[in-house]
Chain A
C-alpha cells in the first residue's frame, strides 16, 4: 500500500487575525496551498486543499461557506460545486474529494497538522 505510518506535525500558518469570520483565506506550505476557513461561533478552523479540481485553479479559499444537508461546505467560486469542510467530499460528485488536514487554534496561532513527509 502507498500509505505510510504518518505522524502529525503541527505547523503554524498565521494568526487568528488573518482569518475571516465564516469565510476563507489561503496559505501555503512549500508548494501546497491550503484554504483555511474559520467558524468563530464554534471556535473552529478547517483546512482544505485550495486547489479546485473542477476548474484546476487555486481558488477554494475564495468560496462562500454555508451548510447544506447538515454539513458545513464551501462553494467553489468558479463552477459552484460544494465541498464538505470536515472531509473534503464533493456533494455533487461522490467520486471527487479534496484533501483536508486537521486544523486548530492554539491560542491565537492558527495551526495545521501535516504529515511529516511533506516538505516544509
Chain B
C-alpha cells in the first residue's frame, strides 16, 4: 500500500469530480492515492442545474460528491483551498495554507471564470457573475433586500448562460432585462430568425430583451442602484446586474509553471488530455484541444475519460465532441445541433417558421439531402431527439427531409428505438450507447432508475430522459418484463393492490390508506382512484366528510363539467323508457333555465349550460318529478340501452325493455375503474347494439345470451359471447360476479375490454372464474354486489336534503352573481358556448 503513487486533481467542479469518480472505478485505481484540491468551500455540485437552486433546491440536492463520499472512496479532499503554485521540477505544489504536496501525476481541472467586460463601473457592489452557489446567494440577497416591490434585474449577455441567469432573476421577482451586444440572442447556436422567435417568446414572459445594444458605462446612483448607459444614449436603472458574457479558461497555474497555453488562453492538450508536461493533464474548460475550448460539460467528461484511460495504460483518445444542445430557457424550448448555420460546403437548408405559435425549425443537410449536418429548433423541441440520432449516427434521411420538421406531416418517419444502431449515443454527457443500455437490462436492470445507476445515462443534463425511457421500456417489453405500475408518486401500488389493502385491512378513508401505505398528501390521480375503491367497497356517499376532497369536479357537483366551466345534467331514464309527463318536466326545466338539450348516444337527455349555483334548483325540480341522478358524471354504470323488445316489436323474442330497466336499476351507482355501459336487444337483429357494450344481452328463444367486455372507446372491441340461453336469475348472478370481479381487479381507468385482454388466460380464465367458480370467489362477489345494491341512494336526493352539502354549490362564496365569463350564443334555436372571438365581439359591443 505504501508504494502507491500520488495523483492530485486541482479543481472540484463537475469535470474534476467526474475524473475522480471514473478513475476510482478504473483498474489502475488501487495503485494510486488520489487527492482533490477545490477552491470552493462546497464539494462538487451540478452546475448545469444551478438555476434549480432558486427553485428551492439546496446544495445537497445538487451535490455530486460529498466530503464523506470522498473519504469513503479513499480520496483526500482539500476543500476551500487554493493551489498557490506548481513546481514541475520537484513535482510539488504549494497550497494557500502553506502545505506542500508532492505528486506523480497532476490533473488540472480548474475550469473557467466568467468574463466581465471592462465597462467602466463593472466592479460596483451590485454587479455579479453567475457561476457558483456563492454567486447565487449574493444575487439573491441583493435582489431581495430592497422593499420597493418594483426591483429590476439586468443580465448583460444573451447567450445560453445569460438566459439562464435571466430566468433566475425573474424567479426572484425582479423585472428582468437582457442586454445582448450581438443583433440576436444566442448568436453562436441560433440564426437570425431563430433568435427573433426566441426573443418574442421570452418577451411574452415579461423579460425585456435588448439586442444590438452596447453598454458604455455603469453608474452607481446615490441610493446604490445602478444606471446603465448605452451607446445609443438610452439608460436603464437596475437593482442588480449580472454579467454573463462568456467564459475564459483559468489557466493561471499553467502559465505560472510554464505549460504551453494558447494565444487566447487555455492549456494545450493532446488527444490523451496531456499537456506539454506528460505528467500533467488538463481537462474541461481550462483545456485547449485543437485550438478549441469546449464550454459544455460533456466534452469535459470525455477528456476526463481519455485521461483516466491513459493513466491506466489504455487508449481512449479525445477526438473532439458534439456541441449539440437541447435546453428549456425560461420555459422555451431551444435546440441546436451540429452545423446549425450551414457553413459546410454545399449544405442546403430547410426551414419551417410559424409566427403564430412561435416555432422555428431548420435542418441543414448535405448537398444530396441524404445526411443531416445540423439543425436549429425554437419553441418546439419534439424533433430534437430524432434529429440528433440522425446526425450522430449518420442515419440516411428520408426522401423528403423536411418531413422531419413539418407539423402533422404524415411522411415523418418516427425514428423508433429499433431504428437505432447499438452504437447510437443516447446520453452524450455520460457517453452511453444504446448497446450499453440494452446490455445493462440484460444484466438484470429492470427500470430506468436501475439503468441510470448502472450506466450513469441521464445522470447529468437530463436531456436524454425521454429517449432513455423509450429504450428501457421497449427493451423490457421485448423481454417480456412488466414495467413499473405504481399508481403515482404517492402510492407504489396498482389499483388492484390498493383495493386489496382496503378490503383486507377494512380501511375506510383515504387518509388512513395513505398514512399506512403511501406517502405525501395525494394528487388528482390517486385521490379519485381511492375514492372509487372506497365507494365500490363501502358505498358511502361521495359527499361524506372524509371523501369530499377526493372527488373530481364532476363527482363533487354531481354533473358533467363542460369546456366553458358550466355543467350538463343527465337524469336517469332507465332503459330509455320515459313517460310523457316526465318528458314535459325535462322540457320545462330546460326552457326555464335556458339549457341546451340533446338526446345522448345512450338514450338519455342531456341538459347543458347550467352554472354551479343553478344545479340544486334544477335538480330539486327533477327529483320532485320522480327523476334520479343518471351518474353521467361518474366512473359508474351509465346507461342500459334497449330496443323495443317483444312488447311492441314483431320480431322481439323477450322483453328487452323490462330487462334493461331491471339491470339499470340494479347496478345504478356502482363505482368502477371506468364508466360502464350495457345494452339489451330483444332479438339477434341487435337494434340496441349490445355487442359493442361492456355488458351486452341479446334475447334468444330460450332466454338470454350474455356478451362481455366490448366497447366503443378509442379502440373499439366487439364483445365476446360468454354464456348462452340464461334464465333471468342466472343472467343477473353472472353479471353480478363479472362486474364485481372487474371492479376489484382492473387497473385505474381500465375499460372492461382492456381488462379482459390483460387477464392471463383471457376469456377461458374469466369463464372459469365466473361460471365455474374456479377460485371459490362466487359467494363473496355475490355478497359484495348485494351490499352495493342494497345501499344505493340517489346522490342528488341526499345532497338536496343536506344544507351543509348544498353550501358547496355556490359559484362564489361571497356573491350571488353569475360567472360573467360564461357567454352563450344561439345556434339552431338553442344556446351554445361563445367562441373566444365571439366573446370579444359581444363584450366589445356591450
Contact = CB atoms under 8 A, between A and B. Distances in A.
Contacts of B40: none
Nearest to A29: B814
B808 interface: yes
B808 A68 contact: no
B807 interface: yes
A66 B331 contact: no
A57 B564 contact: yes
B563 to A, nearest CB: 6
A94 B170 CA distance: 12
B836 interface: yes
B548 A75 contact: no
Contact of B810 (A23, A25, A31): A25
B317 to A, nearest CB: 39
B524 A80 contact: yes
A25 B551 CA distance: 14
Interface string B327-366: 0101110000000000000000000000000000000000
B553 A3 contact: no
B104 interface: no
Interface residues of B, number: 49
Interface in B522-562: 522-524, 526-528, 548-553, 556-557, 561
Interface in B132-177: 148-150, 152, 175
Interface stretch (B90-98, B688-696, B815-823): B815-823
B233 interface: no
B329 to A, nearest CB: 10
Nearest to B807: A18
B685 interface: no
Contact of A28 (B152, B556, B815): B815
A68 B814 CA distance: 30
A21 B550 CA distance: 11
Contacts of B470: none
B565 A66 contact: no
A64 interface: yes
A96 B205 CA distance: 8
Contacts of A62: 553, 556-557, 561, 565, 612
Interface in B674-721: none
B330 A64 contact: no
A77 B813 contact: no
Interface in B356-394: none
A45 interface: no
B520 interface: yes
A52 to B, nearest CB: 8
Contacts of A64: 523-524, 527-528, 549-553
Given A21-B548, A64-B527, A5 B149 contact: yes
B762 to A, nearest CB: 33
A39 to B, nearest CB: 9
Contact of B814 (A21, A27, A66, A95): A27
B485 interface: no
A23 B523 contact: no
Contact of B817 (A20, A28, A75): A28
B768 interface: no
B565 A59 contact: yes
A16 B647 CA distance: 57
Range of interface residues on chain A?
Answer: 35 or more
A94 B565 contact: no
A18 B807 CA distance: 8
Interface in B227-253: none
A21 B58 CA distance: 31
Contact of A67 (B150, B522, B561): B522
Contacts of A78: 561, 563, 565
Nearest to B520: A67
Contacts of B807: 18
A61 to B, nearest CB: 9
B520 A59 contact: no
A14 B807 CA distance: 13
Most A Cβ at <10 Å: residue of B553, B563, B807, B836:
B553
A8 to B, nearest CB: 10
A14 B612 CA distance: 18
A119 B436 CA distance: 62
A68 B489 contact: yes
Contacts of A1: 150, 152, 175
A31 B820 CA distance: 9
B349 to A, nearest CB: 28
Interface string A18-54: 1111110111100101001000000000000001000
Interface string B201-212: 100110000000
A4 B150 contact: yes
Interface in B793-834: 807-808, 810-815, 817, 819-821
Contacts of B814: 13-14, 18, 27-28
Nearest to A87: B171
A26 B524 contact: no
A6 B524 contact: no
A19 B813 CA distance: 8
A4 B175 CA distance: 11
B521 interface: yes
Contacts of A27: 812-815
Contacts of A72: 521
Given A27-B813, A31-B820, A95-B332, A20 B549 contact: yes
A65 B821 contact: no
Contacts of B612: 62
Contacts of A36: 813
A33 B299 CA distance: 51
Contacts of A31: 820
Nearest to A39: B521
A105 B528 CA distance: 29
B565 A68 contact: no
A64 B175 CA distance: 32
A93 interface: yes
Contacts of B490: 66-67
Contacts of B552: 64, 77
Contacts of A93: 331
B606 to A, nearest CB: 18
Given A25-B808, A25-B810, A28-B815, 10 more contacts: A2-B175, A5-B149, A28-B812, A28-B817, A51-B821, A63-B553, A64-B549, A67-B520, A67-B523, A77-B553
29 contacts: A1-B150, A1-B152, A3-B149, A3-B175, A21-B548, A21-B549, A22-B549, A23-B548, A26-B811, A26-B812, A27-B812, A27-B814, A31-B820, A33-B812, A36-B813, A55-B563, A56-B821, A57-B563, A57-B821, A59-B565, A64-B551, A65-B549, A66-B520, A66-B527, A69-B489, A78-B565, A80-B524, A94-B328, A94-B330
Q: Which 5 A-B pairs have the closest CB atoms?
A: A94-B331, A95-B331, A57-B565, A66-B523, A75-B524
Interface of A: 1-6, 13-14, 18-23, 25-28, 31, 33, 36, 51, 55-59, 62-70, 72-73, 75, 77-78, 80, 82, 93-96
